[in-house]
Amino acid sequence: MADSDIEIDTDDLERRMDGALAALRHEFGSLRTGRASASMLDPILVDAYGSPTPINQLGTINVPEPRLVTINVWDRSLVGKVEKAIRESGLGINPQLNGTIIMLPIPELNEERRRELSKVAAQYAESARVAIRNVRRDGMDQIKKARAEGMSEDDQKFWHDAIQEMTDRHIALVDKALEAKQAEIMQV
């Protein structure tokens, strides 16, 4: 540990880099692969009771089969609104009604659509890398300020190396998550 009384808040930097990874995982969850997933409905909001509401607050979402998602809508009057929101969401899914239950059969992805989704996943990963590098830049700015306040060169090197190691570790996690997501998307 550095022996200077000037310290860089690496816990805050780590928390912010972890936040970029969490956001990436959430975005990956909303990407439709060939498999059914309850999280694919997360970005869809339904106009219910006068405000945009996530589907998971309007009914029970289940994945009874690898290619089927069901939503048991609690309020019968909202079934049509939920169905319409899914139809207009751009997910490319055609909802089927069965009383208050909406069934979402997940179609097979064709090769072209798989490539498109793989590119979208790569864009999400690049955004996460940029966010992590921005956090790194903030850490380096803290070191520059500390230098002006009299931080020794040894301490500057210590903190610089610590922040760089943290950045490299988080970017490797982004790359690993992207590789896994692209493999999942391309799996037939």
Three-state DSSP state, 122:
helix
Nearest to 106 by CA among 69, 63, 151, 57: 69
Rounded CA-CA distance 36/33 in Å is: 8
DSSP letter at 59 equals E
pLDDT for res 1: 44
Classify domain 35-105 at the CATH topology level: Gyrase A; domain 2 (3.30.1360)
Cα dihedral across residues 136, 141, 145, 148: positive or negative: positive
pLDDT over 80 at 30, yes or no: no
Per-residue pLDDT, 82? 92
What residue ranges do the domains of the chain occupy?
A: 10-29+110-186, 35-105
Distance, CA of 136 to CA of 147 (rounded, Å): 17
Q: CB of 179 within 8 A of CB of 122? A: no
Q: What is the pTM of this model?
A: 0.68
Bridge partners of residue 102, in order along the sequence: 71, 97
Least confident range from 21-35, 92-106, 117-131, 132-146: namely: 21-35
Secondary structure (3-state) at 34: coil
Do residues 126 and 133 lie in contact, with contact meaning Cβ atoms separated by under 8 Å? no
Task: Indicate if the pLDDT at residue 66 is higher than 90.
Answer: no
Which pLDDT score is estimated for 34?
A: 67
pLDDT of residue 12: 94
pLDDT reported for residue 188:
63
Phi, psi dihedrals of residue 93, rounded to the nearest 5°: -115, 140
User: How far apart are alpha carbons 74 and 99 in whole angstroms?
Assistant: 11
User: Could you say which architecture CATH assigns to the domain 10-29+110-186?
Assistant: Orthogonal Bundle (1.10)
User: Can you tell me the distance from the alpha carbon of 32 to that of 21, in angstroms, rounded to the nearest whole number?
Assistant: 19
Average model confidence (pLDDT) across the chain? 88
Distance CA 132, CA 71 (A): 36
Q: Given 3-state DSSP classes, what are the helix, strand and coil percentages for the chain, each rounded to the nearest 5?
A: 60, 15, 25
